[in-house]
Structure 1
Amino acid sequence: MTAIELKSRVYQQIAHLDEAQLEKLYELLDQEFVTPTTKSSQATKKRPLGNMKDKIWMTDDWNSDEVNQEIAQLFNEGSVFPKE
């Protein structure tokens, strides 16, 4: 189907609509098919690498055997639901 044929079919379908119905149709088309420019510009914006450097820190023992054993014990022996 060519663009001219499609255009004529659309005109035939909406020829009987009154002004209020056409206005509602235009609103629906704008909401459904028109995307705001702010969304697309934000989606393509790149973040610089390393912007969190020196803002996150961990204690020296974050990966120690003691901490890892405690986490493993809580994982393996803990209950699914906390006690009330």
Structure 2
Amino acid sequence: MRKVDMLEAKNSLSRLVKAVESGAEPEIIIARNGKPAVRIVPMSHARKRGIVLGLLEGKHPPMTLEQLNSTDAEIAALFEASEIEPPR
């Protein structure tokens, strides 16, 4: 693991990325004011973010469709009045 400051990273970003891509460096840490700020890692090691289910669970009371529609009559009217044309 190599640690570089922001100025060095700015001046040699292409070289740093190439070093990580080629495997010469497993990762490179870029520091701002001496404190680690970001990490350059190969895409195969990058954290994958998926869908988080239940993120809002418990934050809002459950609502029926009618209750949801009653909160904004104008939006509900737009949905009820919309005409969907079949694909040609």
Same fold (TM over 0.5): no
Higher relative contact order (CA 8 A, sep 6+): 2
Higher strand share: 2
Which structure has the greater CA radius of gyration?
1
* TM-score normalised according to structure 2 size: 0.27
